[in-house]
Amino acid sequence: MFSFIKRHQIILASAVLGLISLHLASTTRKGTGGEVIVRAVLSATAAPFQKALLAAEGKVAGVWSGYVYFVGLKKENAELGKTVQSLVEENLRLREEASLNARLKELLRFKDDFPPRTLAARIIGMSDFGLSGGWTRTIVLDAGSGDGVGVDMPVVSHRGVVGRIIAVTSRTSTALLITDPRSAVDVIDQRTRIKGLAEGNGEELVLKYIRRLDDVAVGDGLVTTGLSPVFPRGLSVGTVTKVENGEDNFFKHIEVGPASDIKKLEEVLVITDGNTAGADKTEGGQPTVPDGRVRKGKPQTRGKERP
Amino acid sequence: MKDFLIMLPMTVVYLSFKSVLAPAIPFPDITLLITIFIAYERPSVRGVALSFALGYIEDVFNGGIIGTSSFALVGIFTAVHMLSRRIHFSTASIEALSAAGLGLVKGFLVWFVLRLSDLNVPVIPQMLLGAFVTGLFAPVILSFFMWFSGHRVPGMAKGGER
């Protein structure tokens, strides 16, 4: 018996760990189970590295487009080259700042039109978006529980819903994007007011439970219903891109392009209001006060309270 | 133990790097290559545990469903261990092809576990790109592991090592 175990110990260990993996996969589907300690340790280790990489990436991009372009200039042009280089770098920096300024302005404009309390956060990491064959669609934000971020808080951009927070450490948080297969958002067709469930499939969204006789057409905009406890009402989720009759002869197969192109986002807003669903105003009919905090990046701005 | 101390931090650093640059560039699957290396070069119960830990870290890091990558990597460890008696990674092309093939196997194993978890995910074509990139870089990375572990470079000529 012991000799058998000893001879096949690797196979047996693999079988045991394989079964444990399957058990973990079936019990921690939401990814918020017993991995809290590991996540906290990894976050503490990786977050500074990710931030440093992000900063370095920006500098390398600047050097690449500024310095490398001038490699090969003759010696007599060195001084002129240096001047041009510094001007180009300055120009790049200013352009980057102008771009950041424009993005922050858009976010602030969105905040002004959007009553719940929000917190701006920077994206410091992303899952691989399928380039390594994975289906996970998550982003890592540089705001954590210390900033008031909590699990299940909605993450939005000025274009619409981005996802929701699924894990939080003191300094960072992980958001599940709406295109992740684990994500499902209650939505309503803006044109026909037909309700459905927008589920992620890794690449985009699939609108489910729409009957064949329901009127949903390509180009229709979908917004959140506010029925779920996570997302406030009226946030843009996406636009219908394809409508077909489903294979089950009952429901339609509808594909939806997400409103926010996460690959192009650098900052997002986390709605930190505890209960935001459908709550546009406070009890007295006055709008809630947005926090107005914009973290990191330049310029740092602090929003003002609404009257 | 030494493998754990070296490979786990290396994986964390690599995954951090990948998570910042990932949307633009397809990266080779380092956890898969470490698993192949350990399973082929140093098959042991500790090696199985390492592949499980690598998968766990990958899942936590990506915010994925815990257990999917662990299951895939443990499965690949077993497969490589069993096949290592018949197949020898004697040339770079065999290493590249094997790594690319195992990259696809990993993708399908993850897909299989997701389907078991009632998630209706499609098989995505990017799996092919990921497997291709992993295969392309496999000879270099595996040689690096060999060098790093104090073995001879190049190749993973098992027959010659033992």
Position A4 scores a pLDDT of 75
Q: Do A181 and B120 touch (CB under 8 A)?
A: yes
Q: Do B65 and A28 touch (CB under 8 A)?
A: yes
Cα–Cα distance measured from residue A64 to residue A69, given in angstroms and rounded to the nearest whole number: 7
Averaged pLDDT score across all residues of chain A: 75
Place of tokens 């779920």: A228
Query: Closest-CA residue in chain A for B132?
Result: A132
Q: Do A166 and B63 touch (CB under 8 A)?
A: yes
* CA count, 13 A, side-chain hemisphere, A275: 5
How many Cβ pairs within 8 Å bridge chains A and B? Answer: 199
Stronger pLDDT, B16 or A73, i.e. the higher one: B16
Which residue, A290, A63, A43, is CA-closest to A170? Answer: A43
Cα–Cα distance measured from residue A170 to residue A134, given in angstroms and rounded to the nearest whole number: 27
Q: Do A130 and B57 touch (CB under 8 A)?
A: no
Is residue A254 scored above 70 in pLDDT? Answer: yes
State pTM to two decimals.
0.65
CATH number listed for the domain at residues A117-278: 2.40.10.340
Cα–Cα distance measured from residue A283 to residue A98, given in angstroms and rounded to the nearest whole number: 39
Q: What is the CA radius of gyration of chain A?
A: 24
Cα–Cα distance measured from residue B119 to residue A200, given in angstroms and rounded to the nearest whole number: 10
CB-based contact, A23 to chain B, within 8 Å: yes
Structure tokens at B52: 């499980």
Cα–Cα distance measured from residue B86 to residue A155, given in angstroms and rounded to the nearest whole number: 51
Is residue A307 scored above 50 in pLDDT? Answer: no
* CA count, 13 A, side-chain hemisphere, A175: 32
Between positions 167 and 206 of A, the ones with CB within 8 A of B are 167, 174, 176, 181-182, 199, 201-203
Q: Do B124 and A130 touch (CB under 8 A)?
A: yes
Q: Are B89 and B124 spatial neighbours (Cβ–Cβ below 8 Å)?
A: no
Place of tokens 């007011």: A193
ipTM over 0.95: no
Stronger pLDDT, B121 or A23, i.e. the higher one: A23
Q: Do B130 and A132 touch (CB under 8 A)?
A: yes
Average pLDDT score over residue span B114-130: 76
pLDDT tens, residue by residue, A86-105: 777 777 777 777 777 777 77
Between positions 85 and 124 of B, the ones with CB within 8 A of A are 103-104, 106-107, 110-111, 113-114, 116-122, 124
pLDDT tens, residue by residue, A23-67: 888 776 554 445 666 667 666 666 776 777 777 766 666 666 555
- pLDDT interval class at B154 (50, 70, 90): very low
Distance of CA A133 to CAs A21, A46, B26, B101, Å? 19, 22, 10, 13
Cα–Cα distance measured from residue A264 to residue A162, given in angstroms and rounded to the nearest whole number: 12
- pLDDT interval class at A167 (50, 70, 90): confident
Average pLDDT score over residue span A207-222: 89
| Residue A129 Rama label (left phi>0; alpha psi -120 to 50; beta) | left
Position A288 scores a pLDDT of 32
Q: Are B102 and B29 spatial neighbours (Cβ–Cβ below 8 Å)?
A: no
* Domains of chain A by residue range: 1-25+32-113, 117-278
Is residue B24 scored above 70 in pLDDT? Answer: no
Q: Do A132 and B110 touch (CB under 8 A)?
A: no
Stronger pLDDT, A244 or B87, i.e. the higher one: A244
Average pLDDT score over residue span A215-241: 88
Structure tokens at A253: 């197969």
- pLDDT interval class at A241 (50, 70, 90): very high
| Closest residue to B66, CB basis, from A13, A24, A182 | A24
CB-based contact, B1 to chain A, within 8 Å: no
Stronger pLDDT, A92 or A146, i.e. the higher one: A146
- How far does the CA of residue A106 sit from the closest CA of chain B (Å)? 23
